[in-house]
Structure 1
Amino acid sequence: MAIDTSVPSLDTTPARLTGRARLVLFVLCAAQFMVALDFSVLNVALPALGKDLGMSRTDLQWAVTAFALPSGGFLLLFGRIADLYGRRRLFLTGLAVFGAASVLATFAWSPASFLAGRALQGLGAAAVVPTGMSLLTTTFPEGPQRDRALGISGTLISLGFTIGMVLGGVMTDTLGWRSTMGLLTVFALIVLVLAPGLIAESRTTDRPRLDIPGAATVTGGLLALIYALSTAAERGFGGADVLVTLAAGVVLLVVFVIVESRAGAPLVSLPMLRRRTVAWGNLGGLVTFSMMSTVVFVLTLYLQEVLGLTAFETGLVFGVQGVMSVIAGMYAPKVIGRLGAPRTLAASLLGQGLFIATLLALGETSGVLLATVGVSLASMCHLGAIISYGVTVTSGVPNEEQGLATGLVTTTQQVGLTIGIPLLGVLATTQGELFDGVRTVLAVDAAILLAAAALVAAGLITRRTGKSGPRR
Structure 2
Amino acid sequence: MRITATTRSPGAALAVLAGAQFTVMLATSIVNVALPQIRDGVGLSDGGTTWVVNAYGLAFGALLLAGGRAADLLGRRRVLLAGLAVFGAASLAAGLATSSPVLIAARALQGLGAAAIAPAALALVMDLFPPGPGRGRALGVWGAVSGAGGAAGVLLGGALTQAWGWQWIFFAVAIGTLPVLAGAVVSVPPAPVTGSGRFDLPGTTAVTLALTALVWGLTTARRSGWTDTTVLGAFAVTAVLLTAFVLVERRHPNPLLPPRLFRAGRVTVGNALMALLGSVWIALFFFLPLYQQQVLGSSPLVTGLGQLPLAAANMLGSTLAPRISRRIGPTATVTAALLTEAAGLLWLSRISAHGSYVADLLGPGILIGLGLSIAFVQLTALSVEGVARQDAGLAGGLVNTSRQVGGAIGLAVLATLAGTATAEAAAHQPQLEALTAGYRIAFGVSAAVLLATAALAPLLTRRRESGPSEASPNPAPQPAADGRR
TM-score relative to the length of structure 2: 0.87
Contact 1:290 1:416 in 2 (8 A): yes
**Could you tell me which of 365, 385, 388 is aligned with 2:378?**
388
Residue 360 of structure 2: aligned partner:
370
1:90 aligns with 2:79: yes
Q: Which sits farther off after the overlay, 25-34 or 255-264?
A: 255-264
Residue 456 of structure 1: aligned partner:
457
TM superposition shift of 1:374: 1.1
Identity, % of aligned pairs? Answer: 37
Amino acid across the alignment from 1:388? Q
| Cα distance between partner residues in 1 of 2:200 and 2:94 | 33
**Could you tell me which of 152, 165, 169 is aligned with 1:163?**
152
| Cα distance between partner residues in 1 of 2:442 and 2:108 | 31
1:426 aligns with 2:416: yes
Q: Which sits farther off after the overlay, 130-139 or 272-281?
A: 272-281
| Cα distance between partner residues in 2 of 1:303 and 1:207 | 50
Instruction: Return closer, same or farther for 1:69/1:102 CA change in 2, 3 Å cut-off.
Output: same
TM superposition shift of 1:456: 2.0
1:435 aligns with 2:404: no
1:23-76, CA deviations, whole angstroms, 9 ceiling, x for partnerless residues?
A: 101110111100100011112222212212222222111211221222111110
Instruction: Return closer, same or farther for 1:154/1:250 CA change in 2, 3 Å cut-off.
Output: farther
Q: Which sits farther off after the overlay, 28-37 or 137-146?
A: 137-146
Amino acid across the alignment from 1:449? L
| Cα distance between partner residues in 1 of 2:418 and 2:32 | 19
Residue 34 of structure 1: aligned partner:
23
Residue 398 of structure 2: aligned partner:
408
Q: Which sits farther off after the overlay, 218-227 or 228-237?
A: 228-237
TM superposition shift of 1:183: 0.7
TM superposition shift of 1:178: 0.9
TM superposition shift of 1:206: 5.2
Instruction: Return closer, same or farther for 1:148/1:122 CA change in 2, 3 Å cut-off.
Output: same
Q: Which sits farther off after the overlay, 291-300 or 331-340?
A: 291-300
Query: How many equivalent residue pairs?
Result: 449
Amino acid across the alignment from 1:406? G
TM superposition shift of 1:125: 0.8
1:419-449, CA deviations, whole angstroms, 9 ceiling, x for partnerless residues?
A: 2221112211211223332232222221111
Amino acid across the alignment from 1:211? D
| Cα distance between partner residues in 2 of 1:203 and 1:170 | 42
Residue 356 of structure 1: aligned partner:
345
What SS class does the counterpart of residue 59 from structure 2 fall into?
A: helix
What is the CA RMSD across the aligned residues, in angstroms? 2.1
> Superposed, which structure 2 residues align to 1:56-455 within 5 Å?
56-205=45-194, 207-275=196-264, 277-366=266-355, 368=357, 369-431=359-421, 432-433=424-425, 434-455=435-456
What SS class does the counterpart of residue 361 from structure 1 fall into?
A: coil
TM superposition shift of 1:313: 3.4
1:348-367, CA deviations, whole angstroms, 9 ceiling, x for partnerless residues?
A: 22222233223333334225
Amino acid across the alignment from 2:31? L
Contact 1:306 1:364 in 2 (8 A): yes
What SS class does the counterpart of residue 97 from structure 2 fall into?
A: coil
Contact 2:83 2:117 in 1 (8 A): yes
TM superposition shift of 1:222: 1.0
1:103-122, CA deviations, whole angstroms, 9 ceiling, x for partnerless residues?
A: 21111132222222112111
1:402-433, CA deviations, whole angstroms, 9 ceiling, x for partnerless residues?
A: 01111111111221332222111221121122
Residue 4 of structure 1: aligned partner:
none
What SS class does the counterpart of residue 349 from structure 2 fall into?
A: helix
| Cα distance between partner residues in 1 of 2:32 and 2:231 | 23
| Cα distance between partner residues in 2 of 1:127 and 1:411 | 12
Amino acid across the alignment from 1:460? L
Instruction: Return closer, same or farther for 1:409/1:144 CA change in 2, 3 Å cut-off.
Output: same
Contact 1:460 1:471 in 2 (8 A): no
Instruction: Return closer, same or farther for 1:50/1:365 CA change in 2, 3 Å cut-off.
Output: closer
Instruction: Return closer, same or farther for 1:122/1:392 CA change in 2, 3 Å cut-off.
Output: same
Structure 2 unaligned spans of 5+: 1-5, 426-434, 467-485
What SS class does the counterpart of residue 412 from structure 2 fall into?
A: helix
Q: Which sits farther off after the overlay, 339-348 or 397-406?
A: 339-348
TM superposition shift of 1:262: 3.1
Contact 2:386 2:465 in 1 (8 A): no
| Cα distance between partner residues in 2 of 1:254 and 1:456 | 29
Amino acid across the alignment from 2:362? T
TM superposition shift of 1:176: 0.8
TM superposition shift of 1:200: 2.2
Contact 1:298 1:428 in 2 (8 A): no
| Cα distance between partner residues in 1 of 2:119 and 2:195 | 19
TM-score relative to the length of structure 1: 0.90
| Cα distance between partner residues in 1 of 2:181 and 2:297 | 43
Contact 1:136 1:149 in 2 (8 A): yes
What SS class does the counterpart of residue 121 from structure 2 fall into?
A: helix
Structure 1 unaligned spans of 5+: 1-16, 463-468
Contact 2:16 2:180 in 1 (8 A): yes
Instruction: Return closer, same or farther for 1:110/1:305 CA change in 2, 3 Å cut-off.
Output: closer
Contact 2:76 2:193 in 1 (8 A): no
| Cα distance between partner residues in 1 of 2:14 and 2:376 | 18
